Structure 1
Amino acid sequence: MADQIVQNIIEWISVVPPSGIYLIFLGVAYFENLIPPMPGDVLVAFGGYLAAEGVIALFPIWSLTIIASVLGFMTMYWLGHKWGEQIESNRESHFILRFIPYKYFKRGKKWMSRWGQGVVVANRFLAGTRSVISLTAGMSHLKITPTILSSAISSILWNSLLIGMGWVIRDNWPIIGQYLSNYGKVIIGLIVLFIAGKAYFSYMGKNSRGNEQKE
């Protein structure tokens, strides 16, 4: 499915003028924050390849994708800020919970309370959790200006990496998708292990305290 989306967009890009290409990438970088299955990272890397080939300019595609990424993040932040109380009070049937289980929001809020803006800075590097992070940032009512700055830093670092990779490897840019897929699996696996380890040590700590009280 994701490969087909990428192929369709690439075919579309091949027949539009440079001004249209910029608009396409603007839309891709924005909507991939709202529609997690969209393979936006691969397409941003493709933008680096197009810049290397001289089809489009490097700085405009870099800056536009960063601006769009921040706008997308802050759109989800706004949704979390606006609907956060309703989600909390209606955990079984709120429309957002049809797409993202509440347990992810609960976990995201714990991250926010512990690491705050650090989670927002890291969000672009945490594959599979971006929408949850942006929504929970809004639900947690993080201050807007620092959140925008943190999101911008995250987008600058991540998009620079993707576009740079596309620029350097050029015709072989599709392999970036394979690396990103493996990277995403590793990140999700590490997050699962971290949560499982934390739960285990918390459980063992409670048991140890319980045994001490009995003695």
Structure 2
Amino acid sequence: MENWITEVMNMYGYIGILLLIALENILPPIPSEVILTFGGFMTTTSNMSIIGVIAVSTVGSVIGAIALYGIGLLIDVNRLGKIVDKWGYILRLTSKDIDKANAWFHKFGVWTVLLGRLVPLVRSLISIPAGMAHMNFGIFLLFTTVGSLIWNSVLVTLGAAVGASWNTIVGYMDTYSNTTLLVLVVIFVLFIILFLKNRVKLNN
């Protein structure tokens, strides 16, 4: 995949970067680390600029995020609640639990979207719950843009700084991604344990 990504970027330049980053947001297995660091490296071997690469990659990020936000709007909380009412007994969930989660997102959603854009794997998918919660689109757009701008700026600048060694940054980012995934899994497990304990206490 890495070779395909670099070929597209070499052939289409800014447009290639924009399209690849938009796809990366919709299809998380496409690594933004490769696109952005290689894009940074290209600024040292072509007429592309760091600001230009950051700008088009941020536009691509926002386009992809909007697409996922739209999907979240289609899978609204009421529809999900009906599904949970029918099948939620398997996980001991009820539609009330969904309502609580939705209320939590409304309360902390802005910061969830902003910080989520800086976390591998989460950065793409965070747009779906934002859509499901009907988060104010203007605020969603603002914080998605800010978070994406920070992420893209760091990786593009690093890619330009290390030049031909841009691939070493990808290696470090893989380690960061794996560590982040492990931490998220641990947090999720702890959340489930605490959630089930609270449910047991309420039932007793």
Q: TM-score, normalised by structure 1?
A: 0.77
Task: Tell me the CA shift for residue 78 of structure 1.
Answer: 1.1
* Shift in alpha-carbon separation, 1:83–1:194, aligned structure 2, 3 A: closer
The answer for the alignment partner of 2:44 in structure 1 is 52
For the residues of structure 2 that align with 1:6 and 1:55, how far apart are their CA atoms?
A: 22
For the residues of structure 2 that align with 1:60 and 1:49, how far apart are their CA atoms?
A: 13
Deviations 1:68-87 (A, max 9, x none): 10111011101211333555
Contact 2:117 2:126 (8 Å CA) reproduced:
no
Contact 1:52 1:170 (8 Å CA) reproduced:
yes
* Shift in alpha-carbon separation, 1:195–1:149, aligned structure 2, 3 A: same
* Shift in alpha-carbon separation, 1:13–1:152, aligned structure 2, 3 A: closer
1:173 aligns with 2:166: yes
For the residues of structure 2 that align with 1:22 and 1:41, how far apart are their CA atoms?
A: 16
For the residues of structure 1 that align with 2:53 and 2:25, how far apart are their CA atoms?
A: 17
The answer for the alignment partner of 2:14 in structure 1 is 22
For the residues of structure 1 that align with 2:200 and 2:104, how far apart are their CA atoms?
A: 25
* Shift in alpha-carbon separation, 1:110–1:38, aligned structure 2, 3 A: farther
The answer for the alignment partner of 1:154 in structure 2 is 147
For the residues of structure 1 that align with 2:18 and 2:145, how far apart are their CA atoms?
A: 15
* Shift in alpha-carbon separation, 1:65–1:140, aligned structure 2, 3 A: same
Contact 2:50 2:157 (8 Å CA) reproduced:
no
The amino acid that maps onto 1:37 is P
1:43 aligns with 2:39: no
The alignment covers a number of residue pairs equal to: 190
Task: Tell me the CA shift for residue 88 of structure 1.
Answer: 4.8
For the residues of structure 2 that align with 1:47 and 1:174, how far apart are their CA atoms?
A: 11
The answer for the alignment partner of 2:74 in structure 1 is 82
SS at match of 2:153: helix
Q: Which of 101, 105, 108 is the aligned partner of 1:112? A: 105
Cα RMSD over matched residues? 2.7
Deviations 1:123-177 (A, max 9, x none): 2222222343111110110000000000011001100110011011111101122
The answer for the alignment partner of 1:198 in structure 2 is 191
- Which 10-residue stretch deviates more, 48-57 or 133-142? 48-57
The amino acid that maps onto 2:146 is I
SS at match of 2:126: helix
Give 5+ residue unaligned stretches, structure 2: 85-97
The amino acid that maps onto 1:119 is T
Q: Percent identity?
A: 22
* Shift in alpha-carbon separation, 1:80–1:173, aligned structure 2, 3 A: same
- Which 10-residue stretch deviates more, 175-184 or 79-88? 79-88
- Which 10-residue stretch deviates more, 66-75 or 140-149? 66-75
* Shift in alpha-carbon separation, 1:108–1:154, aligned structure 2, 3 A: farther
Contact 1:121 1:151 (8 Å CA) reproduced:
yes
The amino acid that maps onto 1:199 is I
Contact 1:108 1:133 (8 Å CA) reproduced:
no
SS at match of 1:198: helix
